[in-house]
Structure 1
Amino acid sequence: MMMLTTILFDGTHANVLGSAVPVLKILFMCGMGSALAHPMIRVINPESCKVLSKLVFALFLPCLIFTELGRSVTVENMREWWFIPVNVLLSAVIGCGVGYIVALICRPPPQFFKFTVVLTGIGNTGNLPLAIIGSVCHGDNPFGDGCFQRGVAYVSFAQWVAVLIVYTFVYHMLEPPMDFYELVQEIEPVEDPAEMPRLLEAEWPGVKDAQTDDTRAPLLSRLFREDSRNEEGSEGVSPRRGRCLVEPRVVRKIRIVAEKTPLQHILQPPTVASLLGIVVGAFPQLSSILFGQGSAPLAFFTDALTILAAAMVPCVMLVLGGVLSGGPGRSELGLRTTIGICFTRLVILPLVGFGVIFLAYQLGFVPKKDKMFLFVLLLQHAMPSAILSGAMTSLRGYGESEASAVLFWQHIFAVISIAVYITIYLQILSTI
């Protein structure tokens, strides 16, 4: 305890208030967004918020990811950075394990059990970490030259893993329960054009346009219920009896689930930008044409993308502030479960993540002297729930209001939790 106190408050290190400044910058930008969305001002109205969100999603964020990742990544770097995507995977596995315990303790309504596991376990690895790094690296920073470029590259390098988790595991975990689907499958939500878009749409604008009958169908529940009926009625004639080769039941289940998984949505603009940045970095000749020192033939192109990328952080914070101004909305999740998800995601899991990163550091899995590398790894465990996971509830047509409410409260209280953890992280990293 004495050691931790010395690290945090020793006068030879940056003071605690100074370490919290990056979060104060973000809070101010979000506050500006909320103020501009106020009914008396209304500079940011629902339509402009949607347009701005689409610009971030389709233009500013991809430009940022491509330019910074393309400049930083090489084949050698990819070998050194292997623990970044592994850390995202570990964060999801550990988080969902703890989320299962939260669901057992808080006892949400039965239809929200898997919802509780996912919203607890899957953290934000996209817009918010990038915004925090942009704030930390602006002006004097503890990470030295190239702070922003390295930070964005590290975060972007894990994008494909996070997106893959969301569009496979999260997608199927958040399918509507069978009983719910049978009762309300014909009901379509009515959207008021005068209302601010929900927080769920901040990371995937137009998610409702991707909704189909297949995305709203309880696939896994139907598979298991169908197999149960087949076992009970096995004395009858099997529909597969006439085949020469009978498909094993497990193989059949895997095939159906794979066919119904919307992998086409994985190739969203930010993910494509991440993959393109990795491809460019893997080929030095291509990288020198785009990002080479001096007179690179396509330097004008990457310079233009860099200018557009600079708009990402302020725009995403203004959108977030404007969306949060709409309040949490209605939820049937229950106060106890909502508190359980928020407390676990914002307080418990960052502590668990710190233990994971400390162990990885001791085992030599991460570069010893790269403070930004360690900071990004720690940040991946301290984020609120992934907004994209919440967007999956819109795609699946179930639990959208509950996800919106949980994400709202998490982002409100994350101002405090992230400020505390960033302060601790920066103070500890200053001693390395």
Structure 2
Amino acid sequence: MGLLELFITACVPVFNMLLVTGVGSFLASDFAGILGKEARKHLNSIVFYVFNPSLVSIYLAKTITMESFTKLWFMPVNILLIFIFGLIFGWIVIQVTRAPAKLRGLILGCCSAGNWGNIFLIVIPALCKEKGSPFGAPDVCQTYGLSYSSLSMAIGAVFLWTIVYNIVRATSKVTEGDGDAQSNQTKVSISGSATGTFSEENCSNSNDHTNESTLPLISKNMPPNKYKIPLSERARIFFSRISGTVDLKKLFAPSTIAVIVGFIIGGTPLIRNTIIGENAPLRVLQESAELIGGGAIPSVTLIMGGNLLNGVRGGASVPPSIILGVIVVRYILLPLLGTGLVKGAVRLGLIQPDPLYQFILLLQYAVPPAMNIGTIMQLFGVGESECSVIFVWLYALASVAVTVWSAFFMWTLST
């Protein structure tokens, strides 16, 4: 199949995404007034807690078994490599552009964390339905494609809330105003200096664990040689430090729990035969989960369109060099690097010979930043408007970049 035909095939799912995103932006505009801030918040909660978990769990249960999971081990490694090289490229962007301190965490997050969930859930099913798709029968392609995409989304969420979350947390120290009644806005200062006043980190809506994590191991009231900390107390202090560093509530998101449920169902033949299949006695559970999960893709796309409208309206100013640097990293450097890494892994026999699986691994390097980066910036109260501006440019160019790279990846897989 020629490169031009593959390019046309790759255009269709991207245009589908753009049209639905445009509808979301229109519904969020003042003219329509349907998908306002509160409406998007409630719809996003439904997607986060209901639609996405249903979609993830049922497609994993249908296609993933313990045997097949051993063949997919390279996907978490692939995402980890994207994070590592993205952080390296992001650090170079910071040094070259001399980015302000409050934008360093944002730049590192945009360069390292990609949209490995929503984009794939939109692009892959549409791509499988195209006549010129090199991935075989449309129904089989869609089933396995959504399964791989669900796994990608879950793994990406784990890395996002462990790596990017703590990068932003480490690069920005958020302190509340000293009783200033005039403004409730947070003050941002860069952490990393050896001296400074103690400040309360507003990491999330959950409780902080700073008091427990900074307890001394030896009491000042007792001599060190006469006081021994019990093992249970050491374990409590250790886990309190871990909980203070990693937000476990964000780490075990509903989609992540859904992945675990999907693996349990798919990996247990008795449970799988009871729920999955046309003749399964409890097939109504499968059909109900598919019905609920079907609302995830259109809802997420509408929300994306409404959120991007904020970047158009925002009055924040971001240096063009920073925007250009992130664009170069996400749409040029990472895809080129990913092509070499994935092709090298295929030659070494580390990746199973499945064109659809290889395509998803390649496309993970060429997607725009994760939308949840904006949520993380909001949690710390730093760089929110700048994040919207960067996202507008990155997602506006995603229509071209994703199309071009998708066509190129399919061409390399078909040759």
Which position in structure 2 is the counterpart of 1:275?
260
Rounded to whole Å, the distance in 2 between the matches of 1:175 and 1:241 is 36
Shift of 1:52: 2.4
Normalising by structure 1, what TM-score?
0.79
Matched, 1:366 2:358: no
Q: Deviations over 1:12-42 (max 9, x none)?
A: xx35223311111111111222233332233
Q: How many residues align?
A: 385
Q: Deviations for 1:172-216, whole angstroms, at most 9, x for unmatched residues?
A: 2102756763768975459xxxxxxxxxxxxxxxxx99525739x
Q: Relative to 1, partners in 2 of residues 1:125 and 1:350: Cα closer, same or farther, differing over 3 Å? A: same
Q: CA deviation at 1:139?
A: 4.9
Query: For 1:138 and 1:382, how far apart are their aligned partners in 2?
Result: 21
Tell me: CA distance 1:382–1:214, structure 2 relative to 1, closer, same or farther (3 Å): same
The correspondence for 1:106, drawn from 90, 97, 112, is 97
Q: Report what 1:35 is aligned to.
A: 26
Given that 1:382 and 1:418 are in contact with CA atoms closer than 8 Å, whether structure 2 keeps it comes out as: yes
Aligned pairs for 1:302-313 within 5 A: 302-313=286-297
Q: 1:211 to 1:185 in 2, by over 3 A?
A: farther
Calculate the TM-score normalised by the size of structure 2: 0.82
Distance across 1 between alignment mates of 2:352 and 2:173:
50
**1:325 aligns to what SS in structure 2?**
helix
Asked whether 1:143 is paired with 2:135, we answer yes
In the alignment, residue 298 of structure 2 is paired with which amino acid? Answer: P
* Deviation of 1:71 (Å): 0.3
| Gap regions ≥5 residues in structure 2 | 187-201
SS of residue in 1 equivalent to 2:387: helix
**Cα separation, 2, equivalents of 1:302 and 1:254:** 41
Equivalent residue, structure 1, for 2:198 = none
Match of 2:319 among 326, 329, 334: 334
Q: 1:245 to 1:165 in 2, by over 3 A?
A: farther
1:79 aligned partner, one-letter code: T
In structure 2, do the counterparts of structure 1 residues 241 and 374 end up closer, same or farther at CA, with 3 Å as the change threshold?
farther
* Kept in 1: contact 2:174–2:380 (CA 8 A): no
Q: Distance in 2 between matches of 1:149 and 1:287?
A: 16
Structure 1 spans left out of the alignment, 5+ residues:
1-5, 191-207, 228-236
Corresponding residue for residue 168 of structure 2: 174
Q: Amino acid of the residue matched to residue 284 of structure 1?
A: P
Greater shift after overlay, 178-187 or 296-305?
A: 178-187
Query: Cα gap change, 1:179/1:390 in structure 2, threshold over 3 Å: closer, same or farther?
Result: closer
Structure 1 counterpart of 2:81: 90
- 5 Å matches for 1:65-84? 65-84=56-75
CA RMSD of aligned residues (A): 3.2
**How big is the shift at 1:78?**
0.7
Seen in structure 2, the aligned counterparts of structure 1 residues 94 and 402 have a Cα distance that, compared at 3 Å, is same
State the identity %.
Answer: 28
Shift in Å at residue 325 of structure 1?
2.4
Matches within 5 A, 1:30-429: 30-140=21-131, 141-145=133-137, 146-175=140-169, 181=175, 188=184, 210-212=204-206, 214=208, 242=224, 244=227, 257-260=241-244, 261-292=246-277, 294-328=278-312, 329-331=314-316, 333-368=318-353, 370-429=354-413
* Aligned counterparts of 1:126 and 1:386: Cα–Cα separation in 2: 8
Deviation per CA, 1:138-167, whole angstroms, max 9, x where unpaired? Answer: 353331231111111112223443222222
Q: Is the 8 A contact 1:85 1:157 kept in 2?
A: no
Relative distance call for 1:177 and 1:420 in structure 2 (3 A) is closer
Match of 2:3 in 1: 8
C-alpha change, 1:43 and 1:331, in structure 2 (3 Å) is closer
